[in-house]
Amino acid sequence: MTNIQTNNNIGSEEITVNTTDNLIAALVSHFQDNPQGFTGYRKEVEALLKENIKPLTAHSGKTGDDWRSEIKARFSGKGAKWVFVSLGNIEETLTSFELQGIDCTSYRENINNIGKAWIRFSGPRVHDGVKCAAFEVRTGGSTKDHTKQLHMIHVDSLDNTVEAMEKTPKALKLEENSAPMPNTKVKPTVKEVEIDTQSIHSIADEINEELEAEVVLNEAPQSDDPAEWEAFLAAEGLTDPELEDLLNEDEF
């Protein structure tokens, strides 16, 4: 409780400040005892606030933030933010994410492959009235920010819960199994056709036999006698009976 001394017509009476109205009355009384311009008086009041009130607020803030500073310092530095936790420790958080519609399939597959989960330090938090360290659970890939997907670990449990990682998940290639498969060209399917090779061989043999057969022609007549030529053509099978009938009809 603060007392402000005044020298106005109230005399040396002390005004006890415990409400806003009393504070205003005390300031008015103090100003009347020290009349001056508004700017000058405001500076005087600010000086009093800095001297008497600011140390109280700074001390209060420092006391409350010590644990936060310690947590931040613990996970500061290159690569220090990534840690491992057990699958059992992360399970409740993953289940909560999935109930919210967040797909954790790839993340679960990857952490199950090595038997532990990786999370990234986000900052100190007070969760349900308990001092905690908050960690991002990057279910969509370790290189993407997931500021709203947090896993809380009580400050008092950190030493027995987290395991420092030597490198980032990307550097350790912990997520390669979930990488998209490269596009590959599909070869066209060739339809197999059954061929009767025996029939083809038979036809080929017949053609070869015909080609190999020697064609023997009788010697053609040397004279111009039509009778000899008719006999020759008939012997070679080169005559046309229908044509001969027509020729015979023309003769008559």
What is the pLDDT, as a whole number, of residue 62?
46
What is the pLDDT, as a whole number, of residue 91?
97
What is the pLDDT, as a whole number, of residue 32?
84
What is the pLDDT, as a whole number, of residue 145?
94
Give the whole-angstrom CA distance, residue 117 versus residue 106. 12
Length of the chain: 252
What is the pLDDT, as a whole number, of residue 248?
58
Tokens of 133: 């360290």
Residue ranges for the chain with pLDDT beneath 70: 1-18, 54-65, 177-191, 193, 195-201, 208, 210-218, 221, 229, 236-252
Mark residue 225 as left, alpha or beta (left: phi above 0; alpha: psi -120 to 50; beta: remaining).
Answer: beta
Residues 6+ apart with CB under 8 A from 166: 79, 172
What is the pLDDT, as a whole number, of residue 68?
95
What is the pLDDT, as a whole number, of residue 140?
94
Mark residue 18 as left, alpha or beta (left: phi above 0; alpha: psi -120 to 50; beta: remaining).
Answer: alpha
What is the pLDDT, as a whole number, of residue 135?
97
What is the pLDDT, as a whole number, of residue 146?
95
